[in-house]
Structure 1
Amino acid sequence: MARSSKARSRAQSARVSDKPLWRRRLVLLIRIGFGIAALALAALAITVYVTRAQLPSYEQLKSSPNGQMIRVHAADGTVIVSLGPSYGDWLSYDQIPAVMREAMISVEDRRFRSHIGVDPIGMARAIKLGIANRGTGRRQQGASTITQQVARTIFLSNKYDLGRKMREGFLALALERKFSKDEILELYLNKVYFGGGAYGIDAASRKFFGHGADHLTLAEAAIIAGLVKAPSVYSPTADEAAAKDRAGVVLSLMQETGAITPQQAADADIQNVTFAPEPKQNSVRYFTDWALPQLATLIDEPSRPLEVWTTLDLGMQRAADAAVRKNAPGGAQGALVAIDRDGAVRAMVGGKDYVSSIYNRATQAVRQPGSAFKLFVYLAALEAGHKPDDSVVDEPITIDGWSPRNDARHNIGQTTLRTAFAYSINTVAAKLGQQVGFSTVADMARRFGITTPVNTHPSMVLGSSEVRLLDMTRAFASVGNKGVAVTPYGITKVTAGGETIYTQQIDTSHVLVAPYVAAEMTDLLQTTVNTGTGKAAQIGRPVAGKTGTTTSSKDGWFLGFSSGLTTGVWMGRDDAKPIAGLHGGTAPARAFHDFMAVAVANRPVEQFETQVTLPDMSIEPDEESYFGGPDNGVFVDDDGNPAQSGGAQPRQNDRQRVDPDGNPIDDGIVAPDGDPQAKPEKLDQQWMDHVLGRDTPAQNRSRGDRPTAAPPPVRPQPDRYSDSRPNQ
């Protein structure tokens, strides 16, 4: 027997040794793989059950917080905005309409009732999509079940990485072991984020439809279910059409899963769903929309409630809002920014009505500044050694094929920089730009805080590069601050749980130009307000400022400072169509006046370092000094390049046409009251003499053999020296 066993053993060994080596290694690897899988499965089971034991109770999960509360204070401590999550009533599973439950399962996790917390089929699909989207920058989508979303909402962040996805999966498996499917769905529907600060279906239903979620119709449930994928994109308050289109997709998915019949889907009538009106918002939201995103770079506090203290002066904000609404021409928008000498933004208006348009034209819109850009031309010239009273010749000039023209269509000959700046003479600005270098002017603009691209074509001296109102206002504030850089800021302090976690620090060490250069520039700016194109901005105390008007009156600007406060005003149409009568020296300057008269009323009067010096009043000034005509004679294409064909040529509608008798021809320019047929009028020389304080006969105004010329016909506008205003 012993010999027989030994024989059999030897025979078996011989048979094993006869197998190829690769097959023996493959079998070994399979056995090792099964062993590792068994160990991993055991480790997973242990992890899941340990996690299950550590999970809070259902009542604790119901009370867990969502989102972060933020209260925003004005400079005087008044709470101006409360932001953060809003919650409706907690609805039990039985209180949630069946159509809402089925809509969410159909669109978010159609295998919710059958999977174990994670969905292998969904994961496989997500991996396939991930491979297909490799290199496209698209994020992987579609792998998270409702249970995983509950785990992420309650326990994790939205940070997208492999480690978070693994933790999310463990938590989902543990949740499925501890709670029923109905309990998990109840948690989900009461805690998921639906946009607009609304967490849970009841808060979303009250926000979008004005009633509780226990009365949701099929169409309303489809709209809410469609929000989870992208709340900001499909929110009815952001895009009603997109919300309804997405709801149509939800109804189709509900048909696929058998939750509803085709007839029920057809009867839902999504297009006739009525949304609750948005609560009224005032213009402070323009300011908070600009300031609050800065919190992400100022602090690192993702969960505790925050108290944010800002620079906003409520009295100034009300005055700014009123000034823009009162003076912006009909069909036009307006924006205003006021910055204190330390950079504190005291008022910000981004449009005439925040409810109808949240687009912030003070911080987001980029428009050509016209002659307001000459600030940088003259700063560069003063830094290069020019003086306000230096003599210069206003004469025709051509630079690289571009021939700028003065709007009065004539040249005055020998004059001074002060006079050229006060009356916004284009040929002198072009000469200065050529002398100091157009790249030098561009560098000066960037030095003073212009963040948009600045071209170096010769036409740039007349404001052909687009800029933001906030940047331009900052530049003027830095001049008013004696050449020391002013950086706009809106947040002074942030506290969390009584602890101060951020305090604004003011930096006064960055000098942009020498103090004497800033003083000379201020000298020129106050001359503009006292006797030049900005007379409508006078407020009974020293003011320095500059107008800007672009081709065909598409944009009107006024920027200036007084008593330590700098204010910038822009007006125009969002579609950049011309508006007859809109010039920097009219509506924008009047809005500046109306706002500043209130804003600095309780501030001490501050004198500038240099007393105002009157320009040569015996010359024929440029058109805008009479009645606010355009101070930018350059014609540019859509890229800001000068349109050249034997010199600068206007585009269609770039300037109102006249017949051989000098009468204007209607060319579609929109009048301030919205009437495109409004006809311009002529202003006689006697009237111009009167408003300029020059009551001597016209024939006696010339000095020596200096030629004079009658001003051209003008478009109609309100009398900027009276209380009349355009129709609103």
Structure 2
Amino acid sequence: MAWGRKKSGGRREPVFGLAGALSDLRLSAEDRIPGGGDDKPKKSAKRKIVDDDDDDDEPPPERKPRAARSPAKRKSKPRGSLPIGRLFYWGAVLGLWGAIAVVGLVVWVGAHLPAIQSLEIPKRPPTIQITGVDGSVLAIRGEMPGANVALKDLPPYLPKAFIAIEDRRFYSHFGIDPWGILRAAVANVLHRGVSQGGSTLTQQLAKNLFLTQERTFQRKLQEVELALWLERKHSKNEILELYLNRVYFGSGAYGVEAAAQRYFGKSAKNVTIAEAAMLAGLVKSPSRLAPNRNPEGAEARAQTVLTAMAEARFITEAQAQASIGHPSYNVKPVGAGTINYVADWIGEVLDDLVGQIDQSVIVETSIDPKLQGVAEVAVIDELAAKSVKFNVSQGALVAMSPDGAVRAMVGGRNYSESQYNRAVTAKRQPGSAFKPFVYLTAIEQGLTPETVRQDAPLDIKGWKPENYTHQYFGSVTLTQALAMSLNTVAVRLGLEVGPKNVVRTAHRLGISSKLDANASIALGTSEVSMVELVGAYAPFSNGGLGVSPHVVNKIRTVDGKVLYMRSTDQLGQVIDPQYVAMMNTMMQETLLSGTAHKAELPGWQAAGKTGTSQDFRDAWFIGYTSNLVTGVWLGNDDNSPTKKATGGGLPVEIWTRFMKAAHQGVAPAPLPASTPPGGMLATIAQAITPPTSPGVAPPPSSSPGRPAPTRTAASARPEAAAGLDGWLMDRLFGR
């Protein structure tokens, strides 16, 4: 006990304990640690020291020393342990925050999805079905969806095959399968990689309908939410039916109907158990397991599906064993046929005809499937046999009716190797195949087929065009000069009528490419495309009417709504009929005695012109009847020279092979206002009696590599004997 008094000498109440002992405790300046801080006293945060100057008369409450506290009131707690209540408390807190986080995540993922009310089953991607003139399907552009097939119309083992291999608990889960996810996770851990997936059929449908194929956590959560939504909105059978009609099976086929047609050539309603197993097996990896790419892999996967179907008791063990190794694959080749060049061309012009395609359409074309097949075989076979000999790697063919409707088109020898369309896109020098426009310009300016011009050396400011044989024949008629493709006569004629007028004539007949109006235009030095060159020859076969080469006749939706209907060309008369007659007479002689004398088309009047560009880089022949106008081109994509391939060689052979097949069963018809079979010379010969001795043969061709032509029975001329032919040449050309 300590006693103390105030400085005023008043009474002071006794204070007991530690507080009393400390009440008179004072620190002098000597007691302080040097440099320990300022001189102001500091209050303790735990204890208040009573100052002598305190005016409060009440004594502070008595506090017992820690050592004096009752041991019974203190509890001994093991360090590191928490009460059970606290565990429950913190567990509840963490659970609440976890639930909030999950809800927040679901809300965040849902915010990145379209509004639920707008999540209707989307339309399939639009497809373009291309049909021939006979209505048969030639090609399909875009994806290949088959018609929707109702679940009840499919054999029961077909949907069960998908359930067995993809989602065994499909009818028992609610859109996601926790057991399936757990099983897949365990398998992936055991195999140290992704060996199984836990997605249900509903999840796969959600991904296929609404989402991308990217592998992200966000996309997976979206897939789960959409699967739950689909399960709430649709029945199990509706989901299964949607899945079977939308899943991808490889080779551009979407849905079981398209896949069955693609791989088996039959409807999905008629597939066997083995075929159903193969289709179900493709879903895992359609690109890798498609039977047209990997038949062994597809069959092995089908066996796995059959085993799963037997385990699920969807089929018996006997059925599974009987089906193993017996799928009747009927794989159709995709993307190899030359009809794909036509399909690509249609795809290019479609936007101009109907605008952006946002629904599936059927394009009715002018293509004749039979002629397309004949054209493809003719080009491919001839190149296979002679491409090495002549160093020719590519070829193209375009055949159209006299009104410009394309009946066949081959843009190259192998579409799967090169999709470059040499019939439409490529532009090459036509060589002498351009000369008819020069001669037509001359005819329109008053010259005639009998007009004589000089075949002699020529020098135009240092440029010296020559005939291929370096031989010259002096005075020749325009008919002979065109038939023999004499270069000097063509150049002289072009300069005489004016290069600009020649260009105008070519453009009027249908050439759309830029042409240089210079002296060399007469030899075809300006580049053109095959389709426009063939189209420009069409007026010679139809009496002088201008045409626009075309392949699309009609475009309609799958339900029959017409989006486009081709109207008749309104280009009118581009050549006077009398000039058409003269040109046909002249160009007939090309096939009878000129550079295309190897062309054979018995019973038909035919005319045309060969062409060979500089250094033998391009070989052409454009020939026509009153039924078809057909052009053939051969050359190399890199514009390298061939080994003296000429227009009168391979192109004429391909043209003859195609035209013979194309005219079988067609009644012959003459060319517009042309002379009778036998040409102009036969008409003149009617009034002349030939001598008994043979005459001199006509001059050799000026086209590269062309030997002097001889008359044969194949030329279909009544006076084809060499004696009469030579005698007429002597009389007409003064030789």
Provide the TM-score with structure 2 as the length reference: 0.56
2: distance between equivalents of 1:458 and 1:517?
A: 24
Q: Amino acid of the residue matched to residue 466 of structure 1?
A: E
2: distance between equivalents of 1:697 and 1:500?
A: 57
Q: Amino acid of the residue matched to residue 495 of structure 1?
A: R
1: distance between equivalents of 2:215 and 2:568?
A: 52
Cα 1:428–1:505 shift into 2, 3 Å:
same
1:486 aligns with 2:553: no
- Percent identity over paired residues: 33
Per the alignment, residue 52 of structure 2 pairs with none
Deviations 1:213-268 (A, max 9, x none): 98999xx89x99xxxxxxxxxxx99xxxxxxxxxxxxxxxxxxxxxxxxxxxxxxx
Per the alignment, residue 375 of structure 2 pairs with 320
- The Cα shift of 1:697 comes to 14
Contact 2:697–2:722 (Cα < 8 Å) also in 1:
no
Per the alignment, residue 330 of structure 1 pairs with 387
1:537 aligns with 2:599: yes
- The Cα shift of 1:480 comes to 1.6
Per the alignment, residue 165 of structure 1 pairs with none
Deviations 1:433-487 (A, max 9, x none): 1111112222222222223322223222111112211111101112222221111
Per the alignment, residue 615 of structure 2 pairs with 552
- The Cα shift of 1:108 comes to 5.4
Per the alignment, residue 445 of structure 1 pairs with 506
Q: Amino acid of the residue matched to residue 299 of structure 1?
A: V
Q: Amino acid of the residue matched to residue 603 of structure 1?
A: V
Per the alignment, residue 640 of structure 2 pairs with 577
Per the alignment, residue 394 of structure 1 pairs with 455
- The Cα shift of 1:304 comes to 3.6
Which of residues 340, 364, 367 in structure 1 aligns to 2:425?
364
1:381 aligns with 2:439: no
Which of residues 699, 702, 708 in structure 2 aligns to 1:621?
699
Cα 1:610–1:287 shift into 2, 3 Å:
same
Within 5 Å, which residues of 2 pair with 1:376-525? 376-496=437-557, 497-525=559-587
Deviations 1:51-93 (A, max 9, x none): 735233xxx54xx332113332211112222344247999788
Q: Amino acid of the residue matched to residue 637 of structure 2?
A: D
Aligned residues: 489
Q: Amino acid of the residue matched to residue 512 of structure 1?
A: V
Q: Show structure 2 runs of 5+ residues with no match.
A: 1-106, 147-158, 168-175, 185-193, 199-206, 232-241, 264-276, 294-330, 685-694, 714-719
Within 5 Å, which residues of 2 pair with 1:137-216? 197=252
Per the alignment, residue 310 of structure 1 pairs with 365
Contact 1:389–1:418 (Cα < 8 Å) also in 2:
yes
Contact 1:563–1:600 (Cα < 8 Å) also in 2:
no
1: distance between equivalents of 2:344 and 2:250?
A: 16
Contact 1:66–1:199 (Cα < 8 Å) also in 2:
no
Per the alignment, residue 130 of structure 2 pairs with 72
2: distance between equivalents of 1:550 and 1:49?
A: 62
SS of the residue corresponding to residue 610 of structure 2 reads strand
2: distance between equivalents of 1:705 and 1:592?
A: 31
Contact 2:398–2:410 (Cα < 8 Å) also in 1:
yes
2: distance between equivalents of 1:697 and 1:525?
A: 17
Contact 2:592–2:711 (Cα < 8 Å) also in 1:
no
Per the alignment, residue 590 of structure 2 pairs with 528
- The Cα shift of 1:389 comes to 0.8
Cα 1:610–1:99 shift into 2, 3 Å:
same
Cα 1:100–1:596 shift into 2, 3 Å:
farther
Deviates more, 1:518-527 or 1:613-622: 613-622
SS of the residue corresponding to residue 640 of structure 2 reads coil
Contact 1:402–1:458 (Cα < 8 Å) also in 2:
no
2: distance between equivalents of 1:700 and 1:344?
A: 40
SS of the residue corresponding to residue 414 of structure 2 reads coil
- The Cα shift of 1:306 comes to 2.0
CA RMSD of aligned residues (A): 4.9
1: distance between equivalents of 2:610 and 2:335?
A: 34
Q: Amino acid of the residue matched to residue 699 of structure 2?
A: P
Contact 2:403–2:538 (Cα < 8 Å) also in 1:
no
Which of residues 662, 667, 674 in structure 2 aligns to 1:610?
674
Contact 1:531–1:614 (Cα < 8 Å) also in 2:
no
- The Cα shift of 1:573 comes to 2.4
Q: Amino acid of the residue matched to residue 585 of structure 1?
A: G
2: distance between equivalents of 1:704 and 1:607?
A: 26
Contact 1:585–1:624 (Cα < 8 Å) also in 2:
no
Contact 2:590–2:597 (Cα < 8 Å) also in 1:
yes
Contact 1:563–1:604 (Cα < 8 Å) also in 2:
no
Q: Amino acid of the residue matched to residue 388 of structure 1?
A: P
Contact 2:593–2:711 (Cα < 8 Å) also in 1:
no
Contact 1:350–1:363 (Cα < 8 Å) also in 2:
yes
Contact 2:696–2:727 (Cα < 8 Å) also in 1:
no
Within 5 Å, which residues of 2 pair with 1:52-67? 52-56=115-119, 61=121, 64-67=122-125
Q: Amino acid of the residue matched to residue 397 of structure 1?
A: L
Contact 1:618–1:703 (Cα < 8 Å) also in 2:
no
- The Cα shift of 1:345 comes to 0.8
SS of the residue corresponding to residue 623 of structure 1 reads coil
- Asked which structure has the greater RCO (Cα within 8 Å, sep 6+), the reply is 1
Contact 1:689–1:695 (Cα < 8 Å) also in 2:
no
SS of the residue corresponding to residue 115 of structure 2 reads helix
Contact 2:430–2:525 (Cα < 8 Å) also in 1:
yes
Per the alignment, residue 58 of structure 2 pairs with none
Q: Amino acid of the residue matched to residue 130 of structure 2?
A: V
1: distance between equivalents of 2:636 and 2:366?
A: 29
Deviations 1:519-565 (A, max 9, x none): 22222111111111111123021001001112333221111111231
Contact 1:312–1:346 (Cα < 8 Å) also in 2:
yes
Contact 1:52–1:178 (Cα < 8 Å) also in 2:
no
Q: Select the structure of larger CA radius of gyration.
A: 2
Q: Amino acid of the residue matched to residue 305 of structure 1?
A: S
Cα 1:431–1:196 shift into 2, 3 Å:
farther
Q: Amino acid of the residue matched to residue 592 of structure 2?
A: N
2: distance between equivalents of 1:698 and 1:519?
A: 25
Within 5 Å, which residues of 2 pair with 1:13-52? 52=115
Contact 2:486–2:702 (Cα < 8 Å) also in 1:
no
